[in-house]
Amino acid sequence: MRLIEAASRADAAARVAGLIVARLSDAIDSRRPASLVVTGGTSPRPVYNRLARAALDWARVTITLSDDRWVPADHPDSNEALVRESLLTGPLGGGARFVGLVNDAATAEAGLAGTERRLAGIRRPFDAVYLGMGDDGHIASLFPGRPEVGERRRLCVAGLAPVAPRQRISLTAPMLLDARQIVLMISRQKLPVLDRAREPGPASDYPVRLLLHQDRVPVVVVAG
């Protein structure tokens, strides 16, 4: 794990965007389709605004989400809505192909098979996986103490969040780790949580341990 302590939140967003652009550029320069996993929440919007202006051949990039709330794509709590409003905009980022996680099924559990069919068409390993971390150490929608943390057989999993909207769909740990690089962006206030998660212990206590206690995929943590 490499830790970058940014000077500010704006600097952190710029550094994260730079890391992602470098990975996508490498894929495009190698003449292969590029793939990117992005996250929801409040912090990513400045990152996405920067990515949307990046001079990449976005038509060769496929983007999907690490997780989403099981709500319509135009719902205020939808991660898909965030991505469409801030990243898939303008003449640059708007050219990317987007694969959403939520479909027309009534529940996340009922929609799993349909979402997995969508995900199967994305080139892996992902060139970059961009994640955040909650105050409780959760990543994507893999929450402490939930059985979804240990799911290893599926591409995605339905779960429940501790806050509404509770129904979630999330990539599983093996999917998140099927990547060339993982970028984890956190606020400085969460560094103590990160420090506790770096100590030995079960991932069920701090799901971010799934990223920190492995040596196959490079992980860059940007704190700002």
Cα atoms in the 13 Å half-sphere on the side-chain side of 213 = 17
Distance CA 189, CA 195 (A): 11
The verdict on pTM exceeding 0.95 is: yes
Radius of gyration (Cα) for the chain, nearest Å?
16
Tokens of 177: 């780790």
Q: How far is residue 45's CA from residue 50's CA, in Å, rounded to a whole number? A: 9
CA atoms within 13 A on the CB side of 36: 32
How far, in whole angstroms, is CA 177 from its chain's centroid?
11
Of 51, 212, 215, the closest CA to residue 139 belongs to: 212
Q: Determine contact, residues 17/24, Cβ cutoff 8 Å.
A: no
Q: 54 near 87, Cβ under 8 Å? A: no
What are 33-55's pLDDT values in tens digits?
999 999 998 899 999 999 999 99
Ranges of each domain in the chain: 2-223
Reading the block at residue 120, the tokens are: 């199967």
List, for residues 54-74, the tens digit of each pLDDT value: 999 999 999 999 999 999 999
CATH architecture type of domain 2-223: 3-Layer(aba) Sandwich (3.40)
pLDDT in tens, 152-164: 999 999 999 999 9
Among candidates 171, 144, 140, which has minimal Cα distance to 157?
171
Mean pLDDT, residues 200-218: 98
Q: Which helix (H) or strand (E) holds 55?
A: none
- Contact at 8 Å (CB) between 100 and 108? no
Whole-number Å distance between alpha carbons of 54 and 57: 9
pLDDT > 90? residue 147: yes
Pairing of strands 34-38, 128-131: parallel
Dump pLDDT digits (tens) for 115-138: 999 999 999 999 999 999 999 999
